[in-house]
Amino acid sequence: MNLYKISQDVNDDWDTFDSAVVVAESAEEAKKIIPYFTNQNIDTLSNAQFLDLIYGDHNSTDKWAKPEDVKTEFIGVADNDFLNSLDGRTTVVASFNAG
């Protein structure tokens, strides 16, 4: 598994994530990870379900971006000890702009 920095500048207001370091097999997979919902598998969601997840009533503001608006940067390869320490999480660390 690889480590990627993901970032977005579509939603840059308060109470939004601007970037995160995530574990993924590919850059395309990394773009689908939502820092706020680290355990959500969006591969099985319809477009409407994905938009509800991001912009739904349970979120008072837009917190992230659609995969096509996410930039990725390869950081390196995660070893097994590190992966085991994550206990299934995909987000290692995230930057949230609280306001």
Residue whose C-alpha is closest to residue 88's, from 38, 45, 46: 38
pLDDT tens by residue, 7-26: 999 988 888 899 999 999 99
pLDDT for 60 equals 36
Domain ranges of the chain: 2-97
pLDDT for 75 equals 98
pLDDT for 43 equals 67
pLDDT tens by residue, 59-89: 433 678 889 999 999 999 999 999 888 877 8
Q: Is 52 helix (H, G, I), strand (E, B) or coil?
A: helix
* pTM recorded for the entire structure: 0.75
Q: Is the pLDDT of residue 38 over 50?
A: no
97 contacts: CB under 8 Å, gap ≥ 6: 12, 13, 14, 15, 16, 17, 18
